[in-house]
Structure formats: structure tokens, C-alpha cells
Amino acid sequence: MLIDFVPTISGLSLAESPAFKKAPGGAPANVAVGIARLGGSSAFIGKVGEDEFGYMLADILKENNVNSDGMRFDPGARTALAFVTLRSDGEREFMFYRNPSADMLLQEAELDLDLIRKAKIFHYGSISLITEPCKSAHIAAAKAAKDAGVVLSYDPNLRLPLWASADRAREGILSIWETADIIKISEEEIAFLTQGEDPYDDAVVHKLFHQNLKLLLVTEGPGGCRYYTKDFSGRVKGLKVDAVDTTGAGDAFKEDQLRSALRFANACGALTVMERGAIPALPTRESVLSTIQTPAS
């Protein structure tokens, strides 16, 4: 969990932006808040600095009814920050301040394993695999979840500038690939992991489908998403909106049931891009349902 500083005017570089609005974010935290805001039950595990930003983020979890028992505060490192430039089309470029930041210093001994074991789904990214001790904490948390029969949900959430090299990023992301039950990936991440192959080619996507995977989701921004299981695959169209900030859109996501769920997820993503920031823009269940007025395509 971190703080995104989002420019108040889109389409400018960081240097050109006259002012920034702080917005709480971080992909796993976005998912936790998104679920709670939709009426579900969620908890967050991670580390922030023992500073004003860290306390602010902890308060935001509580305000959004996210269980924060697994949050830890580091007295010696600051809460992670990211400055996010918004291009005129709402897409982002990131500059991170984490050298090291508190989230990188979460230790295995600090994990709330009981919280993990009683979950139905354990959701995570790949950024926590970049450095120790957080990498070991991540692997231990995922093992505890797997051993307890919890569904493992993986969003690689590629942020290349944070890795030492592209090869290290690819190796790190794929190192835990085959333990996941559900994987959500973007077309850009498919191209990256397959070293330039066509992300719209089903044969390419099937290379990433491992033996124990239950569901592979490919998000395509405004285009919606594709879904792949062992038994069926298909596409659900997105909702057309005027995008302001795409931060958090991908974190918000029998076949008829799946298509219905993905239509709901597409609506969550569409509503999220219409405001600046990730967590501040995540929709309620009521706003999503009011948006879905036409039958699933």
C-alpha cells in the first residue's frame, strides 16, 4: 500500500505538472478496498512507515471496512510514494520513491498467518518479490494460504522500473506462476512474458496456462477482457467511458456465472477510470449495478 501523487492536469510530464493530488493506492490494497466497498469482506497485509502517510493509509483501510490487523508500521523506513503522470488518454507513467520503503521490509515473522488461513481467496502481486525480506514473507504467506486450501489469485502488475532488469522481472514474475489458481494479466504483460509474442493470439495465451490453473483473465482496458479455463474461453466487452485516470482499474475484476461476474468487473474498471486516483475512485455495488443496464454481450 502506498500513496500515488497524481497531477491535477493530465497530459503533462512530472516536471511540467503544477500540482499533485495525493491518492491512496497500491494494487493489493486497491483490491481489498474495492471488495469491501462492493459489500464483501476483505483484509490487507503489508507494511507502511511509522509516519503521517502510514497512519493515513491505515485510517483509510478502517474507513472502508477493510480488516487491517495484518498491517505493520516500520519506525525506520518511510511509506512508499509514487508520482504518476497521466497522459492525455488517461494512461500512466510511474516514478517511485522506495529506497527502501517500508513495504519492502515486511518480514515473515510479522505475518498474521491466522488471517491468511481463514481467507477464501489470497490475492497478491509480484512487486513484493523484488527484494528481501519481503520476498520471503510473500512466499511464506502464499504457502500458508495454499496449505490451508485458500484460492491463490495472482496479478503480476508489472512495474518494470522497480526491477533490476527486464530479465529479472520476467524471472521473478514467472517464479510463482504455477502456484496460482487464478491469474489476471494484461495484454502488455503477455507480450513482456513471452518476449514479444502476439498477446491477442490464443495460442500464445495458452502457453501461459499451467496445469493447475483454474482461470486466466486477460484485461484489455476499454476493450474489456478475455477469459480462459480448461473447458471454455471467451470475451466480455468493456464499457465505454471518458477515462481520466486508469490507476486501479485492473485491480477492481460455470461460464454464464463467469461472464456475469466479468461484466460486473468491467463496470468496476470503467467507473474507476472516471476519477483521479485508485482507492478514491473505486465504486460501490449500487453504482456498479446502476451502470449495468444492458444484457451481457
Q: Grid cell 482499474 — which residue? A: 249
Distance, in Å, from the CA atom of 213 to the CA atom of 209, rounded to the nearest integer, reads 6
Q: Would you give the DSSP letter of residue 108?
A: G
Say which residue the cell 500458508 belongs to. Answer: 144
| pTM recorded for the entire structure | 0.86
pLDDT at 248: 57
% of the chain with per-residue pLDDT over 90: 68
Contacts of 127 (CB under 8 A, 6+ apart): 27, 157, 159, 162
Residue 211 scores a pLDDT above 80:
yes
Find the radius of gyration of the CA atoms of the chain. 18
Provide the mean pLDDT of the chain: 90
Of 151, 162, 209, 203, the C-alpha closest to 185 is: 209
What the block records as the C-alpha cell of 43 is 483484509
Give the least confident one: 155-169, 194-208, 255-269, 276-290. 276-290
pLDDT, position 295: 47
pLDDT tens profile 37-73 = 999 999 999 999 999 999 999 999 999 999 999 999 9
Over 60: is that where the pLDDT of 119 sits? yes
pLDDT digit string, tens, across residues 259-268: 989 999 888 8
Distance CA 234, CA 226 (A): 6
Q: Which residue has the higher pLDDT, 143 or 296?
A: 143
Residue 297 pLDDT class (50, 70, 90 cuts): very low
Q: DSSP letters along 194-235, please?
A: TTS--TT-HHHHHHT--TT-SEEEEE-GGG-EEEE-SS-EEE
